[in-house]
Structures are given as structure tokens and as C-alpha cells.
Structure 1
């Protein structure tokens, strides 16, 4: 039987993976590529059945390597024309200009039909491709590359049951996770087991953050915070610099920058939030590599733990989960007790849990900045012995019960909120 540490490492390597572009359009491209590879014939038409949450997260975000194009049809066409499913979330990383011309020609044929379907799985895509003589259907559920069913001409090629109530059913059991277990393991784990992964996190996520600081992407909040630090409007302190660095990565990524990032819980924004603020904190305050790597281990697994309660896609903004984890990691970096770590997380969740997810787009970078400012404040309060009291609002007397409350809030309490957001976005799209 695997030890607790071995289980945590399995979860870590399942969840912290490279991806190019926002993971929802990439998941669609991945599904389309898989369907084309199995059909292996010229495609006459395509049917896409997709959940509302997927529509929400694909509608406004730029698909990387597309030349500024957005949308489900673009993602499907790029996967069909040039996708390689063996690359998982890097499926369209090698598409070139000539192939994009073929994508545009394919889109001009108007052969892709998109249907919004009601599904208990908030992350749901089925793509059905037709040649003149055959058809193939590929379905994913719950996670971005989790293929649950493949059909060819009605014959079942793959059937992998996936319980709609458990989006992690194909992964290591998340029940092993708790803030206490993550905290204790982060202190003792052999760094050789995690150093290669987190050096890659530091390399890739820092690269796109620097790109966001130097280029013109989205609302450019990261760059503008830095500009205002230079002007003296903001102080040149670690809190401002950390928020700028993390949000700059999202500025670039949501606007179609082709640089890959290391994701967490299926999200590049969560991966960048979980890492970049801590990387900049360590840079400014000259934190040694060992402490940074252990803090990154804590922040990523704490993000996974909090997000496992929330669900893969939700009306509850996912970067709240990562920012709360960062708050705990800041306490961890400063050798605080488990109690202070837990209160830091609780303070963050009690502060910013009202932020909604209304799809992947430029405002994600603003939400990263907002939640990270809250994370620093939350740790500052906890370190001074000030924390939100159990029984006040959604905060419980125990951090694990608080996380369960967050899960109930996001999955049950925000169920209608999610539907209203999707309806509003659909109407806005129809008027364009």
C-alpha cells in the first residue's frame, strides 16, 4: 500500500502539468484531434455537444497560435487540422501559419454545429466527426484530457465509467489531502522528489510572466501595476510586485500568448497564481531555493485540496483557491505554525469568496491581482493573531470544515448563479 507521501506525490504529478493556452479551448482541440485520428478520413461535418461551463470558458479567450481567434469552432478546427492528441494539453503547440490557413478554410465551410447540452459534469465535451462513410464520437468528462467514451460507427471502442459526482474519479483518491498533511509533508519531503517539477514551474511560469510585463496583452494589469510602482503611485514592496508578476502571466495567457505554463487543478491561471507570487516573494526577499520549493509544494497541493471541494469548473472563481493556498504558503515560508497557516487560508476565503467566474478572459488577470492582495493581507492578520472566527459567515472553527463550506457554497449555493452567468454571456454573444 502506498504511503501518504507517495499518494501526495501522485496527486501532484497528476495535477501540475504543462499546457499551452487556456485549458478549456485546448481540451476541445484535444478531443477534436483524437476524433480525427481515429476516423482517419476527410471530414465532411462535425457535431459538438458541450456543457455551459465549457462554453463560458471558451467564449472570450484567445486560442494560442490562432492569430487572435477565439471560440469553440476555432478550437475544434485547430484540433482537427493540426492537433496531436499524444501531446495532451500541448495538442496544438506546433501548429504553423500554413496549417492555420487550412483552419480558416475549414471554418469557412460552416460544417461545425455546436449544441449546448445540460450535463451533470460541468466539464463535458463530445465531438462527433463524419466522413462520407463513417463517423467517430469522442467524449471527455470532468478533467481536460479524461476520455470516457469513444464510438466508431456505433461500435464501442472505449467506455470508461466516470461517476458524475466525482470529477477526480480517474485520479488518485483526494481524500488523503488535508491542510495538516500537506503542511507536515512539505516540511519533510526529500527535495529530490519535487525539485525537477518545481524548477520547471519556476522556469515556464516566470517566462510568461516576464512576457506579460514586457508586452501588450489584455488589460495589462501586471505591467500597469509595475509602471505605477515606478511612478510612486504604488510602493515598491513585495506585495505589489508579487501581484504584478502573477497577474502579468495571466494577461499574456488569456490574450493568446503561445508560451506554455504549468497548470494546477486543470487551470493555468491557478498554476500561475499558486507559483508566481511566491517566486517573486522569494526573489525580493532572497528566500533560498529549498524554502521556496517546499512552499511551492504546499501551495500547489493546497490549491488542489481546496479546488477538489469546489469542483473543476464552477461559478466560484478558481484563483480564490490558489490565492488562499498562497496565503498559507506565505505563512509556511515564514516558519509559522499550522494554526497560523490555517488561519491565513481561512482569512483569504472569508474575504474574497464572493468573486464569480464569468469565463476565461482578460479580467482573470485582475482577479489574480485582487485575490493575491487579499492573500497577503490574510497572512498579515493571521501572523498578528487576528483571524476570522468560526461561526462567522462561511468560516468554521476548523479549516477542513471551512473548505467543506466553500464546496457547498460553490456547488450548491452558486448553482443558479452559474446558469445566470452562462445565460447572460450567451445573450451578450448573440448581440455581437
Structure 2
């Protein structure tokens, strides 16, 4: 692919838009960002906070520890963190710098402030509305469709900024429909590495650091460590263990940032860390690693485009298949090997549901990475799943389209049921 091609510039920009740093699970951080922005607009600490959230936001914030809060959990904690310690200009690193004094102030704020949370259904999956009040003054901030997309800022009833929300379109982002498997591979093979070096290099550094912390520390169910103890220290296990350990740490209060993919830190780690481990094992050059990660990241984004940011379909499945594609590339695989790896992986694990962000995400990540590795080795051994085998159809892009349909439309009611189970019938 030539630099002057429209898709070349678009693919570079998509990577820059998606591979950004985030502190903690991205849904509570998005909520903290909205709360911090509302505090900034209000101009003072509120004495009343009202939070409206779509069901998928409620699901993904309910059980995860908010970083830099001394292990506080849940929607009120995320909002309090943003209000007390948030730096809205830092977006998804909004609560990266928090003092012990601010943590104590958060706890006091939670105990002594009226904070109400209500389910809202405005026809979109990703919706956060934070209204903060102090006496007669109030400020409202709304984020819709993706984590940093502020669409409304209002103060004392006066609209300061408003963007029309048209369904689940991602206004302001590069057109993801330009992605397809043949062009992604062409781009990965030919991209000037300097054009992606900053974003990919940062992903390698950040995600490796948090994975190592996950293995060394005591986080959640310690899935990464369990895998190494249970299965031994070989490359297949390390690939799964590193990705799982990163999630162990991130879901359970680690204060290191990650580089996300498709709005998710878990997906960012899943499509990168196994590829990094295989590159080490194979003594791949830095350039080979950067190209493999360019491929895996774009394959993950391609799959998630049809599904959307939040769904009942576990995003780790897409990222695990993408990791398999990156691993196939490192072994010298061409289009056929990479395409069949993705299709095989999706055929294996496209039934894992997302029941919110929490410790068990790490185990789902391990299963998804295993599927990616198995998908590649199936093809190496002359085995594959064929069109007509369930949701598999002819062509990798068409199979990915089926996955998008399944995750977005087919599992819509599943998502409602999961939310009802988790947080009660009031969220219907």
C-alpha cells in the first residue's frame, strides 16, 4: 500500500485514534471523565450528583475497582474520583494523578453527598449523563457512543455545547468501514514503521509493564499465575498468561495505564501481549514485531466495528482472534494462513458473553488467546472450519460481518437479560 493511498492515511489515523492510554477499566474512567468535566463547568464541588447511565455502562462499572481510590468500586466511586481528583484535559487518564489527601476526600464525599444513579435508555448502548449541583447552580455533561465523545455541556439550563446523537454513529472518527482483511495485511506489510512507531511502541511498553505487575502481584483470581503453575512455562502458556495477568491487574485496582483497543484495555492487551511474547520466542526483529502488532490491532478493530463498543458479545474473542493473526504473521503466514486463523478462532469461542468488567475477564482472555493459537495451528495442520459450519461463511470478511450481526443485533436481548441479572429488573 502506497503512502498516498487514502486507506494508508486512514489506517494510520485509526491506530492513533484507538491505541490511546487509559487508567483502569475504560467505562468507570469515562464516567470519571464526565464527572470531572461537569465539576470544571460547575466551578465548585457539588453537593448533589445525579448520574444517568445506559445498561451496558451500569454492567461494566458495577464490579470493577476504580484505580487510585484505595479499592473503591462502582458508579458513585467513579464519579467521586472524577469530581475530587479528575483532570478532564487528560481524558482517559483523568484520575492518573491522585494524592492520598484526595482519596480521603473522595471517601468523605461519598459518605456525605447525595449521589443518585438511574438507568437511562435513549436508544444507544453507550450513554453517560452526569448532572452536578451546588445550591441553585448546576452543570450537565453527556458522553455518548464512545468513551471521550462529549456531546452535551450545559450550565444552569444554558447549552454551552451540543452535538446531535444520531444512533450509534461514531462522529468525528475515521471511517472504519475502510477496513478489510486484504488491505489490513497489505498495510501491515508495507507501512513505514516510523508512521506507527509511537503508538505501537507505547502499547508494547505500557501493556508489558502492567502484565508483569499482574504476574508479580496479587490481583483478582490471579489467572495469569494460575496458568503458569498449571500448564508450565512454554510460549503458548506465556502468551495466554501475560494477557490474562494484564487483565488481572487492570480489573483489580492496579494503577498502571494500558493502551486500549476499540475502547477497551482488555482488548488492547489481548491483541498485543501474546504477539509480543511470540516475537520474543521467535527472535523476531523489532520491525517484524511492529508489523505484526499493526496487523493484530487493525484486525481487532475491524471485527469490533460491526459489533460496537459495548455488547453482550465478549470483545476478548475478537482480540484473541486478532492475536492469532499477529502470531501467524510472525511465523511467515500469508493471507490464507491469517484469514483462516481468524475464522477458526471465531468459530471456536464466539459464544462467550460479556457480563461486565471484573476478575473473570482474565480467564475469558486466556480462552480467547488459546482459540487464536489453536486457529493458526489448525490451518498449519491442514484443518479448518468451512462455510456453513454455524456462523462461519465463505470469506473472512463475510464471517466477520456475521460476527458483527450476532454481537450487535442478535445479542441485544441477551445484553438486557445479563444486565437484569446483574443489577435488577429496574434496568429494562
Instruction: Give the structure 1 partner of residue 163 of structure 2.
Output: 160
Distance 1:263 1:344 in 2: 23
- The alignment partner of 1:170 has SS state of coil
Structure 1 position 76 matched with structure 2 position 40:
no
Instruction: Give the structure 2 partner of residue 182 of structure 1.
Output: 184
Distance 2:425 2:267 in 1: 26
- The alignment partner of 1:378 has SS state of helix
- The alignment partner of 1:418 has SS state of helix
Deviations 1:26-71 (A, max 9, x none): 0000000000001102312111010000000000000001111100
Structure 1 position 281 matched with structure 2 position 278:
yes
* C-alpha contact 1:306 1:403 (8 A) present in aligned 2: yes
Structure 1 position 344 matched with structure 2 position 341:
yes
Aligned partner of 1:20 among 23, 26, 37: 23
Distance 1:15 1:5 in 2: 16
- Segments of 5+ residues of structure 2 without an aligned counterpart are none
Matches within 5 A, 1:222-301: 222-228=224-230, 234-301=231-298
Aligned partner of 1:215 among 214, 217, 237: 217
* C-alpha contact 1:162 1:170 (8 A) present in aligned 2: no
How far off is 1:429 after superposition?
Answer: 12
Distance 1:378 1:342 in 2: 10
Instruction: Give the structure 1 partner of residue 303 of structure 2.
Output: 306
How far off is 1:237 after superposition?
Answer: 2.2
Q: 1:278–1:429: structure 2 CA closer, same or farther, 3 Å change rule?
A: farther
Distance 1:146 1:169 in 2: 8
How far off is 1:427 after superposition?
Answer: 3.8
Instruction: Give the structure 2 partner of residue 361 of structure 1.
Output: 358
Distance 2:277 2:49 in 1: 45
Distance 2:158 2:264 in 1: 33
Distance 2:122 2:348 in 1: 31
- The alignment partner of 1:385 has SS state of coil
Matches within 5 A, 1:327-342: 327-342=324-339
Structure 1 position 105 matched with structure 2 position 108:
yes
Deviations 1:49-100 (A, max 9, x none): 1000000000000000111110000000110111011001000011111011
How far off is 1:236 after superposition?
Answer: 3.1
Query: TM-score if structure 1 supplies the norm length?
Result: 0.96
How far off is 1:119 after superposition?
Answer: 3.0
Instruction: Give the structure 1 partner of residue 154 of structure 2.
Output: 151
Aligned partner of 1:396 among 390, 393, 397: 393
Instruction: Give the structure 2 partner of residue 197 of structure 1.
Output: 199
| Number of corresponding residues | 424
Instruction: Give the structure 2 partner of residue 135 of structure 1.
Output: 138
Instruction: Give the structure 1 partner of residue 91 of structure 2.
Output: 88
Aligned partner of 2:383 among 380, 383, 386: 386
* C-alpha contact 1:150 1:159 (8 A) present in aligned 2: yes
Distance 1:97 1:316 in 2: 38
* C-alpha contact 2:239 2:278 (8 A) present in aligned 1: yes
- The alignment partner of 2:237 has SS state of helix
Aligned partner of 1:59 among 58, 62, 83: 62
Matches within 5 A, 1:309-324: 309-324=306-321
Instruction: Give the structure 2 partner of residue 119 of structure 1.
Output: 122
* C-alpha contact 2:132 2:140 (8 A) present in aligned 1: yes
Q: Which runs of 4+ in 1 moved over 3 A?
A: 427-430
Distance 2:340 2:375 in 1: 8
- The alignment partner of 2:397 has SS state of helix
Query: TM-score if structure 2 supplies the norm length?
Result: 0.97
Deviations 1:346-372 (A, max 9, x none): 001111000000000000000011111
Aligned partner of 2:11 among 8, 12, 17: 8
Distance 1:429 1:287 in 2: 52
- Segments of 5+ residues of structure 1 without an aligned counterpart are 229-233
Distance 1:185 1:52 in 2: 37
Aligned partner of 2:412 among 409, 412, 415: 415
How far off is 1:290 after superposition?
Answer: 0.9
- The alignment partner of 1:224 has SS state of helix
How far off is 1:2 after superposition?
Answer: 6.6
